[in-house]
């Protein structure tokens, strides 16, 4: 199985010492330590961008943001990092236009709409997104909530 991390889930992994995030962090450590590894965990560049910009903005106000940014850098090295490509962005543009034609946009017209970019990256790896925003993302790709992964229902 291939799981793709949404920004909210990635943010929780960058704060592993917060009690409510421990179960997710433990799941990731266990998943990555299995031999042979049967589950891929993909960190998409669009999620890295969304979280990184927020952490960089917070660094001057919050000393923990620097630790979270260091954890994000670590995760980009240990997880399967999926960079953005021209093909990804073209697929995302098609998803964006299709959603608008169906009357189901996921963001305002002037927004970049990272949901369709994330969906395009997920399609490329044949994955399922772990998210806290299933409503928007499930329009395009399989999407599950963290509680489904934690509960072993997948």
Q: What is the mean pLDDT of residues 105-118?
A: 87
**What is the model's pLDDT at position 149?**
82
| Residue 58 · residue 65 · CB < 8 Å | yes
pLDDT digits (tens, 9 = 90+) for 91-106: 999 999 999 999 888 8
pLDDT digits (tens, 9 = 90+) for 36-57: 777 899 999 999 999 999 999 9
**What is the model's pLDDT at position 14?**
93
What are the residue boundaries of the structural domains of the chain, listed by start? Answer: 2-148
At the fourth CATH level, the homologous superfamily of domain 2-148 is: 5'-nuclease (3.40.50.1010)
Convert 120-140 to b/e letters by CB count within 10 Å (16 or more is b): bbbbbeebbbbbebbebbebb
Global pTM reads 0.91
- Show Cβ contacts of residue 112 under 8 Å, excluding neighbours closer than 6 positions: none
Q: How many CB atoms lie within 10 A of CB 58?
A: 15
Q: What is the mean pLDDT of residues 74-103?
A: 95
On the question of pLDDT at 68 being above 90, the answer is yes
Question: DSSP letter at 138?
Answer: T
**What is the model's pLDDT at position 151?**
67
**What is the model's pLDDT at position 154?**
60
**What is the model's pLDDT at position 153?**
60
On the question of pLDDT at 27 being above 80, the answer is yes
Nearest-CA neighbor of 142 among 131, 150, 153?
Answer: 131
């Amino acid at each position: 199985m291939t799981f793709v991390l949404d920004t909210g889930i990635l943010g929780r992994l960058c704060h592993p010492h917060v009690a409510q995030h421990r179960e997710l962090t433990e799941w990731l450590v266990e998943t990555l330590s299995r031999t042979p590894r049967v589950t891929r965990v993909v960190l998409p560049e669009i999620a890295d961008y969304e979280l990184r910009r927020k952490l960089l903005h917070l660094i001057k106000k919050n000393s923990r943001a620097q630790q979270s940014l260091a954890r994000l850098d670590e995760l980009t090295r240990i997880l399967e990092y999926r960079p953005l490509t021209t093909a990804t962005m073209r697929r995302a543009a098609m998803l964006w236009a299709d959603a608008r034609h169906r009357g189901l946009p996921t963001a305002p017209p002037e927004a970049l709409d990272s949901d369709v970019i994330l969906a395009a990256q997920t399609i490329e790896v044949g994955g399922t997104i772990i998210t806290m925003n299933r409503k928007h993302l499930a329009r395009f790709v399989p999407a599950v909530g963290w509680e489904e992964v934690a509960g072993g229902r997948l």
